Amino acid sequence: MICNRYRVALVGTALATLVCVASMPAMASSSDDASAAAKTVSDQSISNIQHALDEQRYVDAGNFLNQVLIGGAKGPRIDLLVGELSLARSNYSDALASFTSIEANPAVRAEALQGEGIALSNLGRSNEARAALENAVAVDPSLWRAWNALGTEYDKQRDWARAEAAYDHALADSDSTAIALNNRGFSLLLQKRLDEASADFVAALQKKPDLASARTNLRLAIAMKGDYDHAIAGGSQDGQAALLNNAGVAAMVHGDYAQAEKLFGQAIKAKGEYYARAQANLGITHDLEAQGNGSGSAAHSTTAQ
């Protein structure tokens, strides 16, 4: 990862160089040629970096960014890409710093606010995240990632109507990307609209067969319908403990405490070592069973996978 101080120093050097060139009218022709060449290189470099990010080739994206920064490239578009790479690498504080440094620039304001909101959401700063994301879609309503992140924030508030509207925007503006389908499905799962949730997870997997979260969520939806055998079937040996734990969570939410205890016990056994999540979920199940009633909020505090 490129440290911010190093990046800023390079940007400052490039700025000083450009100011000197612009102040030499006697060399206008050669300067214009050089500027045009530099712009061509910059556009191609930005395209290469963006393409690597889109394909989740983050090592390549980092290498390309290093090259352009060492070469003296500067500007808000480069800073935006630095932020996007930090975001992709889950370096949310670094990403936030990059995005906030350029959010006032009209050329990248909407995308910077989008990145800022996503970073804040991942940092657990929900109120700030919603404000940034709402500002982002106000500036550019086509930013599907901002709408998708807004959906998850509205889900946290149980504001189902606004969440659904946000996911509808995300799906319309992204040609129904798998990520947005999966997230809308999870929102429906939280509302116990199981058939609709399952349809979204299936559609997400048709778009992106290797989307592990959609596959996990589909199994969870199946388990929440009470079909525990199908929910845990077909998993790898390494993943069997997680499938059993997830099915146990579904059984607990369903109020089927005896089945939940059985599944958590099997998960602990399949793990072959201490399984903190399943053990904690088993404890919650015992507490709920002793109380004689289920609680949606208590069940939501359990941990899947």
pLDDT tens column, 101-116: 999 999 999 999 999 9
**Burial group, residue 170, by CB count within 10 angstroms (0-12, 13-18, 19+):** buried
pLDDT of residue 49: 85
* Domain extent listing, the chain: 1-18+39-141, 237-305
Topology of the domain covering 1-18+39-141:
1.25.40
**What is the pTM (predicted TM-score) of this model?**
0.70
Mean pLDDT computed over 190-204: 94
Higher pLDDT, 75 or 179: 179
pLDDT tens column, 141-183: 999 999 999 999 999 999 999 999 999 999 999 999 999 999 9
pLDDT exceeds cutoff 60 at 241: yes
pLDDT exceeds cutoff 60 at 25: no
pLDDT tens column, 133-149: 999 999 999 999 999 99
pLDDT exceeds cutoff 80 at 48: yes
Which has the closest alpha carbon to 191: 151, 229, 145, 244? 151
pLDDT of residue 236: 61
Mean pLDDT computed over 246-266: 79
Residue 223's contacts (CB-CB under 8 Å, 6 or more residues apart) are 231, 232, 246, 247, 249, 250, 251
With contact defined as beta carbons under 8 Å apart, do 95 and 123 qualify? Answer: no
With contact defined as beta carbons under 8 Å apart, do 250 and 267 qualify? Answer: no
